Amino acid sequence: MPKRILIVGGGYVGLYTALRLQRGLRPGEAEVTVVNPENYMVYRPLLPEVASGTLEPRHAVVPLRAVLRKARFVSGALTGLDTVRATATVRPMAGPELELDYDELVLAVGATSKLLPVPGLAEHGIGFNSLAEAAHLRDHVLRQLEIASATPDPKLRRSALTFVFVGGGYTGVEAIAELQDMAVDVLEGYPEIDRSEMRWVLVEAMDRILGTVSADLAELATTELTARGIDIRTGTLLESAENRVMQLSDGTKLPADTLVWVAGTRPQPILGELGLPVDERGRLVVDDTMRVDGHANIWSAGDCAAVPDPEKGGTCPPTAQHAVRQAQQLGENLLLTLRGRAGKPFRYNSRGEFVTLGKNKAVGEVLGHKVDGVLAWTLRRAYYATQIPTWNRTVRVLGDWAVGMPFGHDVVNFGSREEPRGAFRQAAETK
Ligand SMILES: Cc1cc2nc3c(=O)[nH]c(=O)nc-3n(C[C@H](O)[C@H](O)[C@H](O)COP(=O)(O)OP(=O)(O)OC[C@H]3O[C@@H](n4cnc5c(N)ncnc54)[C@H](O)[C@@H]3O)c2cc1C
């Protein structure tokens, strides 16, 4: 009887674990099922480029059904777990819940935005974790330019042209940098708006941005962003966003229609409801082979697991680089386990990192060397071009990048996609 391997979550860990199994399983050895709410894996490091319109949203994802040809795919979300019966409960897109039995279970559900109790944040803020959020923000920023260009009302113009991002980690820095770069680039098409009217503010509680990269790189990024007019407020908190007025802890009040909350993530809350051991941050507690403590047949890695860091001690940071390497080892360990052998510990030394800051601009560190400007930007692109699974996706991404080189950012705002039935409803109301 083939063993049943159930992988919950089709992100970095889910996809790369399944790919490793697909390559390594012998015929009849095991059946692999992957459960994910969407039928694609989001290549999250490319989301800032989706937000600036440099990449088509569809090109920044990997279609799971197309790449996991030997696995079964179920579009749904995990809602419960019975570890005694070895059964996971999954809510599909429609219809009654499914019960999926497993011999080996991989929990790879990743993380979501972590909100703080800031008044007005839940009502007016938006995160930057998903494809929908990144694509929406592009349309939203272009919409704000349209609003400002069409009204002489100074109050409306100020709110429309003020963009506040809270959280100066790499997600926040990349998001504000790419979107501001796009807005400045398209501004020549808006003669009614002067560049000095646009206000881009990055609020960070710590005393510097990019807390997880070296201080030199953070300094380089700060210099670049400040020179472009981005107002970086370190040691500052967002205290309130009520009525769309951003009240900062340094006393500043900014009426702003845009509030992007990128001040941290937390593991998916469902993990705390499964009866499995979690740490103080809500991550599953696993050993160095990525097996969940006390459960011989449950495994986890990536943003939702506290995987011991072999390089620096403590636990691994929530990065795609770590998630991919963990997944490859996790897939290997599943193969070893199926064959009655012991799993091996996760080992990895990070070789570098990049932070994109807009077209032709980035900072990074490769094999201990600091790089910036066009070189860092080109190396970053080369790295991702070689990492995206399948030629199909690589070619699409390279195509978008090639088109973007000679031409500026596209100014078309497809915000109406968010209410596709609007015109039809109106027609029905006025018939
Ligand atoms: C904007 C942004 C930029 C980033 N840039 C970089 C970068 O430049 N470099 C880098 O190294 N890292 C980067 N990261 C971090 C990196 O993307 C994550 O560390 C990585 O995605 C973690 O992989 P994962 O598999 O744990 O989670 P994910 O890739 O998030 O996958 C989790 C999957 O689980 C699914 N899921 C959630 N709940 C359920 C459920 N109940 N049932 C079933 N499935 C569920 C989700 O839909 C998702 O598909 C970035 C992250 C973001 C948000």
Q: For the residues 102-121, what does the mean pLDDT come to?
A: 96
pLDDT at 128: 96
What pLDDT digit, counting tens, does each position of 4-19 carry? 999 999 999 999 999 9
Ligand 1 within 6 A of CB of 6: no
- Say which residue the tokens 């012991």 belong to: 342
β partners of residue 356: 362
- Which amino acid appears at position 328 of this protein? Q
Strands 72-82 and 258-261 come out as unpaired
pLDDT at 221: 94
What pLDDT digit, counting tens, does each position of 228-238 carry? 999 999 999 99
Distances (CA, A) of 3 to 19, 67, 75, 99, 330: 17, 21, 21, 16, 16
pLDDT at 416: 67
Given a contact cutoff of 8 angstroms between Cβ atoms, the answer to whether 388 and 43 are in contact is: yes
SS3 280: coil
Q: Which helix (H) or strand (E) holds 429?
A: helix 422-429
What pLDDT digit, counting tens, does each position of 344-389 carry? 999 998 878 899 999 889 999 888 888 989 999 999 999 988 888 8
Q: For the residues 291-308, what does the mean pLDDT come to?
A: 98
pLDDT at 418: 74
| Ligand 1 center to 160 CA (angstroms) | 31
Q: For the residues 244-271, what does the mean pLDDT come to?
A: 97
Residue whose Cα lies nearest atom 43 of ligand 1: it is 77
Which pLDDT band holds residue 89 (cuts at 50, 70, 90)?
Answer: very high
Which numbered atom of ligand 1 lies nearest the CA of 302?
26
Ligand 1 within 6 A of CB of 44: yes
| Ligand 1 center to 57 CA (angstroms) | 16
Between 133 and 420, the more confident residue is 133
Domain ranges (residues) in the chain:
3-113+265-350, 121-263+362-379
Given a contact cutoff of 8 angstroms between Cβ atoms, the answer to whether 83 and 73 are in contact is: no
CATH, domain range 121-263+362-379: 3.50.50.100
Cα gap 108→92, rounded to integer Å = 17
Q: Which residues contact 70 (CB under 8 A, 6 or more apart)?
A: 22, 25, 32
Residue 315 has what DSSP assignment? B
Ligand 1 within 6 A of CB of 323: yes
Identical fold for domains 3-113+265-350 and 121-263+362-379, yes or no, is yes
Residue 336 reports pLDDT greater than 80:
yes
CATH class of 3-113+265-350: alpha beta
Ligand 1 within 6 A of CB of 172: no
Q: Which helix (H) or strand (E) holds 160?
A: helix 154-160
User: Smallest Cα–Cα separation from 120: which of 264, 249, 269, 247?
Assistant: 247
Q: Which residues contact 186 (CB under 8 A, 6 or more apart)?
A: 142, 145, 408, 409, 411
Positive or negative torsion for Cα 324, 327, 332, 333? positive
Q: Which residues contact 370 (CB under 8 A, 6 or more apart)?
A: 214, 216, 217, 220, 363, 364
Ligand 1 within 6 A of CB of 88: no
The average confidence (pLDDT) of the chain is 94
- Which amino acid appears at position 158 of this protein? R
pLDDT at 122: 95
Pocket test for ligand 1, best of 105, 109, 136 (most atoms within 8 A of CB): 109
Residue 253 reports pLDDT greater than 70:
yes
User: Smallest Cα–Cα separation from 18: which of 31, 29, 28?
Assistant: 31
Ligand 1 within 6 A of CB of 230: no
Which pLDDT band holds residue 341 (cuts at 50, 70, 90)?
Answer: very high
Ligand 1 within 6 A of CB of 127: no
Residue 164 reports pLDDT greater than 90:
yes
